[in-house]
Every structure is written in C-alpha cells, then in structure tokens.
A and B are shown apart, each in its own frame.
Chain A
C-alpha cells in the first residue's frame, strides 16, 4: 500500500467508463430483482398461510363432524376425500414426537382447538422438523383415535420459474450492456478521431451525426480543428512572408559586401549572411513541413530511390555511402521522403562528417536507416533534438553549421508521410536515425 491510486478513483472500479456504468447498472438490476422476488415469496408465504388457516377453520369442524356421523367401517373410504394439500386425516394415534416447538404450529393447533370449540382434548406433537410435520390427535365420540397430520408447505413453484428468472436477468443485462455500448461507443470513436486530427492539414472533419450530444461534441471538435489549422496556416504564411521579404535585402547586402575590398570583416560578414540565409530557409522549410503539398502518392522502388540520393551526394564529393539492404516498393510521396532523407544525411554530415544510408524491412514496416559515427545523442536528449530550434550544446553547436531544424523538419515530414522517426545509438558508436514507413501507404488525399 504505497500511494493512492492514480486519478483518485477507487482501485475497485474498473477503468473504462463503459465497464463502470455496466457494473453500476448490473448491481442495481440484480439487487432490485432479488428484492422483488423476496417480496413475491414473502407475499406468497403469507397468503398461503392465511389460506391454510381459513381452510382449517372451516374445514376441520365439518370433517370431524362427518367422521363422527359415519359408521366406523365407512370412515376409511371417506378419508381420501377429506384430504387437503397441507393436511390429512388418519384413523390412528399420533406417532410419538416432541411437543410443538414453533410458534406457527402452536397457532395452528390452537386454531384447530378453537374450530372444534374445545370439545376434544387435543394432543398435538411434532413428528418431523424437515419437512416440518406435526400431528394433532383427538378421540372421536366412539373412542376411535383420529390424527390430523399437518404438513405446512408453500404452494409449489412452477419448474420454469427459476429459468424465467435467469432469462429475465440475462435479458436485462444484455439491454444494459447494449445501452452502455451505445452511450460510450461514440465517445471512443470521438476520442479516436480526435487523435487522428492533424492540426497542420484541413483533413476530414469528424462525422457530425449520432445522438445530439455526440454530434455537438463532434461539431465542437471540428470547429476547434478548423481554428487550429487556420492558426497553423497563418503561422506558416507569416514565416514564409518574412523569409520572402528578407531575401531581397539579404541579396543586396551580399552583393554590396562582395563589391567591397577583401578584408577579414568582409569575410566574417559574408559568413553571417550565409548563416542568416540558411536560418531563414530552414525556418520556411520547417513551417512548410507541417503542411506539405503532397500530390498523388507514387509507387517507388526504395533501393533506386536511396541510390539516387546517395549518388547526388557522391557527385558533390560528399562522403555518403550506400549500404546494401532489403528493397521494397513503397507507395509514398517521393519529394517529401527525399527531403526527409536529405535532412538526415545533412545532419549526419554536419555532426559526424560522413553518413551511411541503408534500408531494411522488419515487422514495424519499411525502414530507412541513416547512420553516422559522430558523437551520437544521449538518450535523455533524443526527444529534445526533434523539437524545432533545439541544438545540443556544446558538441552540436553552431560551429558545426546546423540551424537546429534539420531533425525537426525530418520529423514533421515523416509524420506527414504517416511514418515515424526513431533515434538510437549505433553499435560501435554514432547515431542511427530510422525512418519507419508504415507498410500501408499514406492516404493519397
């Protein structure tokens, strides 16, 4: 027993809303059902007893009077006709037994005595406790003993009744289950849909049908989605506009500097302009990566695709190597995927000086690995480097020329392709960045 359960709710409650509601409904239904059956049985017992007592009251004096009138040899024939459900007459002495123990049996004996107007000396005794049975012996006028054997019992229950009860409970539980499902399913669907919402693109709005509450929630979510994507679009536009407007003054600055006589200051200023323009460019790329214009997806031969990228780097004299691996045809957006791989290779070149590109197919899907032998990224900082404008200082500092956006852009673009980016340490040192493309291609529209 360490800490309280999370969320403050009881540990005994199940976790899902549906299960909770079902539990409450089922408990309530079962209790109510049990209660009404108890009531029914109680009523029935009371009714049976009062019926029996009434019968006794009217029936016994008549039967006893009849037996008195009959000749002793005729009495045996009549006995079956006088027999009732809970008692019968026997022409013998009572069997040995104990004195009456229960309140009810004493009441019945008293009632019989009263009905017979106390004219007979009654000798009641209990002969059996289960089933409860007692005998009341009296002596007829001619000296023959007569025993009234009483076996109090409820009216027997029909055999189908318990089954009926079970059927009823099952029916009720099924209805409750259905109702809960009906109530919670849209909620689950809504949550699922909300998870799929991508603020960067307009995407498909949630269906706004179903019960009034669900439709309302879907409408609200759609409106939220629209506001968010409008916001994102605006952000992108601002970034694009800023960069657009910066190009001209930066070009002017550059040309002007280049016209100046060579000096260390001029060289440093040119470096600064280079860095500025890189930042501006990356900023725009990042803003746009959240909202890539994809166009139709293409079935792509992965090996040729990676070969072509590595070929471009080789032709530029960059130390990028292709490692043979599995090939596959993937349906994707080559322009976007190319930018992802290029960003990862550029990142590796910036921080490690060289890069290797490989592909493989495993259970997670089609994977592209970009590997380097650089310093790697400590585990606790892997999340951080995927955030925009985040650099690991000091080893991944500005001196290495990065803007801090390469991995963030790659991450966003990969997500736009419905893929994942994984960072891991390479065996033997260095970083491994894996682009996991889901086997099922990204939706075309």
Chain B
C-alpha cells in the first residue's frame, strides 16, 4: 500500500544523486522536490507541504546535522527526516538520531532501501495518534528504579551500572516511556517498534515484551512496569520523569 502523493524533499548538494533519487522515488509514486542546500530546503518547506525530508549529512556550508537540529527547533519540527550518512559508525548514527532524525541510510545506499525506509518512517508517523506527542529529546528518562539513557541506549540501575538493551528492546521501551499510562495495541507497538533491519511479526511483540520485562526485572505476574491489558495490548504503568542532560 503506497501512500498517494506523499511529498518528499530530497536535500543533497550533489546534483546527480539528488536527481537520480528524485527520479526513482517519482517512479515509485511519490511526489518529489529537490533542494541543493539549507536555504533551498527552508524555502521549499515554507511554500509547500512536505511529508518527509531526505537529508544528506555531508554538505558544504550548513551540514545535515545542523539543518536537522534547526528544523526540530522551528516551525516544521514535525516533519520526519531520514539522514544520508557516510559512515557506518555508531557515534555518527547516534548523533544523527540525537539531532532529531527519524532514521538514516548509509551511503552508498540502494534506492530500494531508501524507498523502504521512507515508507516505514511515514507509516510510523501516521501510526502515532495525533494526541501522542513524542517526548522531547531528553538524555535520561527515569521510571521506577531505572533510568533509561536514550543516547547510549542502556538502562542504569541505582548504582549506575549500565544494562544495555538490544535495538528492538530499546525501541519498544522507548515507545512505552514516551506513552506512559496509555494502552498501546500490539499493532501500534509493532509499527512503532519496527526497526531498520528486523522484521517483527505480530506474535513477536509478546516475545519482545517478555524479554523487556526480564531486562527490567519485572515478572509476568507482578507486572510492575508493563501491564498486559487483555485483548487490547499493553500499558506502561510507571510514572516517567524526564531527567534531562545533566549526566
């Protein structure tokens, strides 16, 4: 199911890449606009309705990371962003996600991969009920006896020992702490937790929840953190505190 007329803005300083990406996306049923730099990007955002931005990190002048950060601070903060990064380096990825990107693609990428990411990110954005706002980028989120470090993607116990999470576990926990005290259906969880490389299936959400409970030291019986709501889904029952950047 392709979303009709989703409007994609491709920002890359390399003319050929910009055009080839635009051509491919256009052929696959998307509406595409092109921008060579930050100035053109802002102009496009102001004049037309953009559903998603594909943003190159390495650009002369204002680089992609700066543009992304400014975007998140401005009027168009809700527009999803996919970064084109050069390096397969954990630090770069984390910086990109910290700056507010929704996903990233490593150069040299295949156009099919990019299209798949675009579809996934747009679907994810649609999935969020409008009254559910993504929590602001706080580095530490506290709940119960745990703190979640959203940059390093690990849990911290009271002694400060780190308990790393797998990608899927982190994404699921992130969805929960972003939406505390709210019943989330398996479908919603599945879509919000969909990772880059993993293809999760309906049943695997239950598996993932039990893995996450194990990480949190939460028994299926006690359900201190994650409660099962029969025939509806799951709810994160602990109050959540944004601790901020002090760590």
**B106 CB to nearest A CB, Å:** 8
Interface residue A43 (Cβ < 8 Å from any Cβ of B): no
27 inter-chain pairs at a CB distance below 8 angstroms, sorted by A residue, are A243-B87, A247-B108, A248-B17, A250-B107, A250-B108, A251-B14, A253-B108, A255-B16, A255-B21, A255-B24, A258-B111, A284-B89, A293-B91, A298-B154, A300-B154, A300-B161, A300-B162, A301-B164, A304-B165, A304-B215, A305-B164, A307-B166, A311-B211, A312-B167, A312-B168, A315-B168, A338-B90
A329 surroundings in chain B (CB, below 8 A): 161
A315 in contact with B152 given A259-B24, A339-B90 (CB within 8 Å): no
Residues from chain A with Cβ under 8 Å of B215 in the complex: 304
- Distance, CA A339 to CA B58, complexed state (A): 24
Cβ 8 A contact of B107, one of A251, A285, A293, A334: A251
Q: Is the pair B87, A254 in contact by a Cβ cutoff of 8 Å?
A: no
A345 to chain B, nearest CB (A): 13
Q: Which residues of B contact A309 (CB under 8 A)?
A: 164, 166
Chain B residues with Cβ below 8 Å from A251 are 14, 17, 107-109
Once A and B bind, how many residue pairs between them come within 8 Å at the CB atom? 114
When the two chains form the complex, which single residue of A247, A273, A277, A299 contacts B162, counting CB atoms closer than 8 Å? A299
Please give, as numbers and ranges, the residues of chain A lying within 8 Å of B211 by CB-CB distance: 311
Q: Please tell me if B110 contacts chain A, counting CB pairs below 8 Å.
A: yes
Report if B187 contacts A (CB, 8 A): no
Q: Which residues of B contact A339 (CB under 8 A)?
A: 90
Partner of A334, one of B108, B109, B152: B152
Is A273's CB under 8 angstroms from B108's CB? yes
B162: A residues at CB distance < 8 A: 298-301, 305, 334
Judge if B158 is at the interface, Cβ distance under 8 Å.
no
Given the complex, which residues of A lie within 8 Å of B112, measured CB to CB?
A: 258
The answer to whether residues A244 and B58 also contact, given A255-B17, A258-B24, A315-B195 and a CB cut-off of 8 A, is yes
> B197 near A: Cβ within 8 Å?
yes
Residues on A with beta carbons closer than 8 Å to the beta carbon of B195:
315
The answer to whether A252 and B197 touch across the interface, beta carbons within 8 angstroms, is no
Docked complex Cα distance between A74 and B12 (Å): 139
Query: In the complex the two chains form, what is the Cα distance from A335 to B14 in whole Å?
Result: 32
**Chain A residues numbered 27-45 whose CB sits less than 8 Å from any CB in chain B:** none
Q: Which of A269-303 contact B (CB under 8 A)?
A: 270, 273, 277, 281, 284-285, 288, 293, 298-301
Q: Chain A: which residue is nearest B94 at the CB level?
A: A335
Interface residues of B in 11-25 (CB under 8 A from A): 14, 16-17, 20-21, 23-24
**A256 located at the interface, meaning its Cβ lies under 8 Å from any Cβ of chain B in the complex:** yes
Binding site for B on A (CB under 8 A): 243-244, 247-248, 250-256, 258-259, 270, 273, 277, 281, 284-285, 288, 293, 298-301, 304-305, 307-312, 315-317, 329, 334-335, 338-339
Question: In the bound complex, what is the Cα–Cα distance between A253 and B108 (angstroms)?
Answer: 9
Q: How far is the CA of A243 from the CA of B20 in the complex (A)?
A: 22
CB–CB B169/A316 < 8 A: no
Task: Look across to chain B and name the residue whose beta carbon is closest to the beta carbon of A307.
Answer: B166
Check B152 against A298 for contact (C-beta < 8 Å).
Answer: yes
Q: Which residue of B lies closest to A288 (CB)?
A: B89
Interface of A is mostly: helix
Q: How far is the CA of A300 from the CA of B149 in the complex (A)?
A: 13
Interface size range on B against A: 35 or more
Measured in the bound complex, the distance between the Cα atoms of B163 and A299 in whole Å is 9
Q: Give chain A residues whose Cβ lies under 8 Å from the Cβ of B164.
A: 300-301, 304-305, 307-309, 334, 338
CB-CB under 8 A from B20, the residues of chain A are 252, 255-256, 259
Report if B5 contacts A (CB, 8 A): no
Whether B129 sits at the interface, judged by CB under 8 Å, is no
Q: Which of B152-185 contact A (CB under 8 A)?
A: 152, 154-155, 159-169
Give B83-105 interface residues, CB cut-off 8 Å to A.
86-91
Instruction: Name the one of B86, B111, B169 contacting A247, with C-beta atoms under 8 angstroms.
Output: B86
Interface assignment of B134: CB less than 8 Å from any CB of chain A:
no
Q: Tell whether, in the assembled complex, residue A315 and residue B161 are in contact, meaning their CB atoms are under 8 Å apart.
A: no
Q: Which of B117-167 contact A (CB under 8 A)?
A: 152, 154-155, 159-167
User: Does B108 contact A277, Cβ atoms closer than 8 Å?
Assistant: yes
A339 to B93, CA, bound (A): 14
A255 and B111 contact, CB distance less than 8 A: yes
- The distance in angstroms between the C-alpha atoms of A259 and B89, with both chains bound, is 28
Bound Cα distance A244, B164 (Å): 31
Known: A255-B21, A308-B169, A338-B90. 5 other contacts (CB 8 A): A258-B24, A285-B88, A298-B152, A312-B166, A335-B90
Residues in B with CB closer than 8 Å to A312 are 166-168
* B198 at the A interface (CB under 8 A): yes
Residues from chain B with a CB closer than 8 A to the CB of A304 are 154-155, 163-165, 215
Is B241 close to A, CB under 8 A?
no
